[in-house]
Amino acid sequence: MTEAWVSVLRRSVRTGLAISAFAVCASAVAAVSDGEIRVGLLVDMNSIYSHITGRGSVEAARMAIEDVGGSIDGKPIRLLFEDHANSVERVTAVAKDWLFDKGVDVIADVAGSPLALAVQEVNRSKGAVIFYNGVMTTEITGKKCAPTGIHWMYDGHAFNTVIGRELTRAGHRRWYFLTVNNAFGLNVEASLAEIVRTNGGEVIGTIRHPIGSEDLFSELREASQAGAQVIALVNAGQDMIRAVRESADLLAVSKGKTLLAAPATAINDVHVIRPQLAQGLRLSHAFYWNMDAESRAWSMRFYQRTGAMPSDLQAGVYSSLIHYFKAVKATGSDDGSTVVRKMRELPIRDPIVRNARLREDGRMVHDVYLLRVKAPSEVKEPWDYLEILNSVPGDRAFRPMAEGGCPLVQGASSGAPSPAR
């Protein structure tokens, strides 16, 4: 055998070994860890966000698991859930246990910005997939972004943009803010006020109140008497519900001369208030159960299981997990980075979101809706509370990726403060 042939054979052997090694590595990457796919939900089960996340989010996750047959390529899907109790310490401890000891592959929900940011840091070295469905802060996809942290539904910038820009451009230019005096309220107020001014409106006054206020009527009356065309309720939960109820006694509001607008709401809040008192309230949501036949059919299934229609947060749990399962199926892997890459490639289409795509900074961009609470005479069936006034494409609603300051995005700016519910 000539020396040339020996050289060729040696190269062939080396190439064959390299291909075999690559195949072994690819097989290892493609494997589902621990022989099952473990899903974790960190939810508020008993506190201020329980009616918009909680057990409804757990049922939405169960629906997603059932809709893919309970397993993927013979690998069972196991669901865990814990009450995070709105405690950063508790959510951090559970996330560490799940990710590093129990081998949880994907976490969903995590309502509340401080909790979400804590989980983002816990997971940074682990690289599991984390979906944030009930978070206002845009820092998740800004300076605090992570390769496998995905902001799926709620978004402070998008919701403020849809309410502030659309109402101001429609001629409602004089705004007065009723703001809860905490980090969430101050950040949302700053963001929404900037959007109002950018679009030709003015902020004629601001009143701040402590969380859990027992009476807000005098503050609402002051805003109305100042000549506000819009009173922005920059609060949430029981504070927002109380403000809407008490504003019904204001003549300007009851006659429709002054609009109420609330960026941090869910349909469950309207159910508690009732259309008699909430009629005319302007909202921004990422989903409405009755927006089309497909959403209605899915929501009816959810209603049969829970006795309530889904909030956009709960619907987002289903949507995010369905897309995750599609990516696991396509790759044969539950490795976080592998799954996220495939999630960006696959089209996002389900009963929940419309015109959606997943950006490199982790933001899932989708249509956002400006809605109005109907008058009682317009309500034709239970939970038929809202009318979609405008559907805003995601590219017009969400903060441009280059402005977020995400280190994963080449050429991104340093970003700006964002809402922190």
Higher pLDDT, 334 or 22: 334
Structural domains of the chain, ranges and CATH numbers in brackets: 34-155+291-363+398-403 (3.40.50.2300), 157-285+370-392 (3.40.50.2300)
For residue 311, give the nearest of 25, 109, 169 by alpha carbon. Answer: 109
Q: What is the spatial distance between Cα 259 and Cα 109, in angstroms, rounded to a whole number? A: 31
pLDDT average, residue stretch 118-140: 93
Cα dihedral 222, 265, 123, 89 sign: positive
| The predicted structure's pLDDT at residue 411 | 65
At 306 the three-state DSSP class reads: helix
Whether residue 420 is predicted with pLDDT greater than 60 in this model: the reply is no
pLDDT-based confidence at 100, cuts 50/70/90?
very high
pLDDT-based confidence at 51, cuts 50/70/90?
confident
What CA dihedral angle connects 254, 260, 266 and 270, to 10 degrees? -10
pLDDT average, residue stretch 71-91: 94
Q: What percent of the chain has pLDDT over 90?
A: 75
Q: What is the spatial distance between Cα 353 and Cα 393, in angstroms, rounded to a whole number? A: 11
| The predicted structure's pLDDT at residue 391 | 96
pLDDT average, residue stretch 308-328: 97
pLDDT-based confidence at 50, cuts 50/70/90?
confident
- CB-based contact 179:186 (threshold 8 Å): yes
| The predicted structure's pLDDT at residue 395 | 95
| The predicted structure's pLDDT at residue 63 | 98
**Bridge partners for 233 per DSSP:** 178
At 210 the three-state DSSP class reads: coil
| The predicted structure's pLDDT at residue 412 | 56
- CB-based contact 151:208 (threshold 8 Å): no
| The predicted structure's pLDDT at residue 80 | 98
For residue 356, give the nearest of 366, 344, 368, 369 by alpha carbon. Answer: 366
Q: Map 232-273 to HEC letters.
A: EEECCHHHHHHHHHHHCCCHHHHCCCCEEEECCCCHHHHHHH
User: The tokens of 381 are what?
Assistant: 């069936």
Q: Which of 43-47, 285-289, 362-366, 412-416 has the lowest mean pLDDT?
A: 412-416
| The predicted structure's pLDDT at residue 30 | 56
Residue where the block lists tokens 């949501």: 285
Higher pLDDT, 135 or 348: 348
pLDDT average, residue stretch 366-395: 96
Give the DSSP per-residue string, 127-177.
Answer: --EEEESS---SGGGTTT--TTEEE-S--HHHHHHHHHHHHHHTT--EEEE
Mean pLDDT of the chain: 89
Q: Which of 7-11, 198-202, 313-317, 356-360 has the lowest mean pLDDT?
A: 7-11
DSSP single-letter state for residue 387: E
pLDDT-based confidence at 419, cuts 50/70/90?
low
- CB-based contact 114:132 (threshold 8 Å): no
Tell me the pTM: 0.87
Give pLDDT tens digits for 328-355. Answer: 999 999 999 999 999 999 999 999 999 9
Whether residue 123 is predicted with pLDDT greater than 90 in this model: the reply is yes
Give pLDDT tens digits for 185-240. Answer: 887 898 899 999 999 999 999 999 998 888 999 999 999 999 999 999 998 888 99
Within 10 angstroms of residue 223's Cβ, the number of other Cβ atoms is 27
**Bridge partners for 151 per DSSP:** 132, 363
Q: What is the spatial distance between Cα 111 and Cα 58, in angstroms, rounded to a whole number? A: 13
